[in-house]
Structure 1
């Protein structure tokens, strides 16, 4: 029995010694994106108000744009349109999870809630997952925020010979270190300066799904478990010889995740200035429980969860929302939501155009249209 007892003590001890001496090896495999940090300032979240269902179809302000399919044997083009953007002639475009740039034209109002549109493949953008995109003011170039590749550019998109360019894939941080632009997810272009302002949301690259598309939302779960700031707002100036990337805003101390936002400006596109921010999901119960636990219990649970396969992590809730704020006073105006995601959910991109808010998503096969009038 004594040898067995010694064996039961020595073997685990040897295993711990090996793991300790090889901690860099195990650490990089168990925690490739870093270990969770202690949460010192715990965020609080409001509860979902089920009585506020202003984004439901029954109120008559929401419509959905679907692909008009003639040949049902052909692959669907309108697949997970994350962000909508418009050309100088008013044509609607979007980029899909297949890396395609498509246009949507010839709208037909099939019912009070349903619009169909002709979809046309404009350009295959190659490997990557394009998210936010905008035309330059002269309409000759599209800039893309790509979750894998960084900031991209496509000149003369309707020219068959045009090629996608990688404008920037790294940025030099304040410590002089070159860091990758990871999970670039939205952008806008200064109407006067022509500068490109874009966000990268995370240091975690999106993994592949079983259908070979990418899962950008996995990064938000890892960042939430790490409780580490990661979002950055960056600026690219195309007027310089080589282009310059600069930091504008870094992530806040809370585990926040930058997502889609667009604004209507007084005297330019609207009578008053309002900004609309996408709310992909309400805070799930698991997150509320973790945030309510004391340290180090919450830290140990987050450390355990972060090592799990992505398929085992908690799923986001069925919810769709748009937060409306006044940018001139930084004041909250309203929350437009579908509290159960029954009609529209997982909104990750918003675009204001023609007194409407166009709603993109990483999951849906349609584009939502909310009428602001």
Structure 2
């Protein structure tokens, strides 16, 4: 007994050392988004909310506040108009106006989520006011695919993702009560009228997968295509909705977050980058740095953080194979590019 007891302090020391090492091994070094390269939008334009790249790697394509989707054609060529809604043309939204963009959103549209279907080259657009839209590889005026689901109008169409195998499109309607212009009310009122939907490109029909959701925003299909990860902005959570397997048609908590999430994008490694518009308990004073994004693993574990100045409140984080990370923002006049290492 005496010999066994003498080894206990040593075992305790080893165990304590292992516990100290494990967390640091599981979480990668934080990324600093303080000094970034900027792709400035043309003068007077703001709000590159979503960032996408086509099947050839061209882009980025961004959804902006005046109702258009722009494409970055490279240094020198700059930004060109790629897509717009039928209402943009009908209401002469290309004409200079003294009204701020937010006052024209309901008539000109406000594209938010963007995702390409690689096989067809089609770009799917979740427009907050116009509904779910699609435009071909050459761009131009988009086709409106859906303005209602389950007998209720799409009032705040927000996030979108595409199953690259079937071509089915998954998207969110953040509220059936409030529009995007009233987005603060969705959070402050605890509105739980949001919905998760699927558009079947073969039948052109929309199915409501789940209703009564609290502020569903960004959405991403998992690498194995078995489930969706949905950002719940007000609750500061990620939800998992099963689309295949024994749990199909059910949802569950995926993970809690330290801030208010916007879009969710696959990180190319089985996990997800989640843009955080602001931290849950963020103070206006103190150090000019806050959590702007977090990388979450396939089981909901925290893998990596990204920090940046408090005036940077990203709405989408997209990591490319070359290690560059693109940040979209609903408030700023540029797309940020950060190096992952």
Query: Normalising by the residue count of structure 2, what TM-score does the alignment of the two structures yield?
Result: 0.63
Q: Which runs of 5+ in 2 are unaligned?
A: 1-28, 89-107, 216-231, 236-259
Q: What's the offset of the Cα at 1:244?
A: 2.8
Q: What's the offset of the Cα at 1:234?
A: 1.5
Go from structure 1 to structure 2 and tell me whether the alpha carbon gap of 1:107 and 1:263 turns closer, same or farther (over 3 Å shift): same
Contact 1:65 1:366 in 2 (8 A): yes
Q: What's the offset of the Cα at 1:84?
A: 0.9
Q: What's the offset of the Cα at 1:324?
A: 1.0
Q: Aligned to 2:292, which of 321, 324, 328?
A: 321
Partners of 2:317 and 2:282 in 1: CA distance: 26
Q: Aligned to 1:192, which of 155, 162, 165?
A: 165
Go from structure 1 to structure 2 and tell me whether the alpha carbon gap of 1:53 and 1:276 turns closer, same or farther (over 3 Å shift): closer
Partners of 2:65 and 2:172 in 1: CA distance: 19
Q: What's the offset of the Cα at 1:370?
A: 2.4
Go from structure 1 to structure 2 and tell me whether the alpha carbon gap of 1:181 and 1:144 turns closer, same or farther (over 3 Å shift): same
Q: Aligned to 2:306, which of 314, 321, 336?
A: 336
Go from structure 1 to structure 2 and tell me whether the alpha carbon gap of 1:320 and 1:249 turns closer, same or farther (over 3 Å shift): farther
Go from structure 1 to structure 2 and tell me whether the alpha carbon gap of 1:232 and 1:372 turns closer, same or farther (over 3 Å shift): farther
**Alignment correspondent of 2:180:** 206
Contact 1:320 1:346 in 2 (8 A): no
Partners of 2:289 and 2:195 in 1: CA distance: 27
**Alignment correspondent of 2:145:** 167
Q: What's the offset of the Cα at 1:155?
A: 2.6
Q: Which has the larger radius of gyration?
A: 1
Q: How does 1:307-318 map to 2 (within 5 A)?
A: none
Provide, for residues 28-75 of structure 1, a one-character-per-residue CA deviation record: whole Å limited to 9, x for no partner: xxxxxxxxxxxxxxxxxxxxxxxx9843435xxx432224x6xxxxx5
Q: State yes or no: 1:238 paired with 2:201.
A: yes
Query: Normalising by the residue count of structure 1, what TM-score does the alignment of the two structures yield?
Result: 0.58
- The structure whose RCO (Cα within 8 Å, separation 6+) is larger is 1
Go from structure 1 to structure 2 and tell me whether the alpha carbon gap of 1:318 and 1:264 turns closer, same or farther (over 3 Å shift): closer
RMSD: 2.9
Contact 2:84 2:142 in 1 (8 A): no
Q: What's the offset of the Cα at 1:276?
A: 0.6
Q: State yes or no: 1:152 paired with 2:128.
A: no
Contact 1:282 1:319 in 2 (8 A): yes
How many residue pairs end up in the alignment?
244
**Alignment correspondent of 1:361:** 329
Partners of 1:368 and 1:106 in 2: CA distance: 15
Provide, for residues 200-231 of structure 1, a one-character-per-residue CA deviation record: whole Å limited to 9, x for no partner: 22231133xxxxxxxxxx41x21222123243
Q: What's the offset of the Cα at 1:249?
A: 6.9
Contact 1:185 1:259 in 2 (8 A): no
Go from structure 1 to structure 2 and tell me whether the alpha carbon gap of 1:101 and 1:276 turns closer, same or farther (over 3 Å shift): same
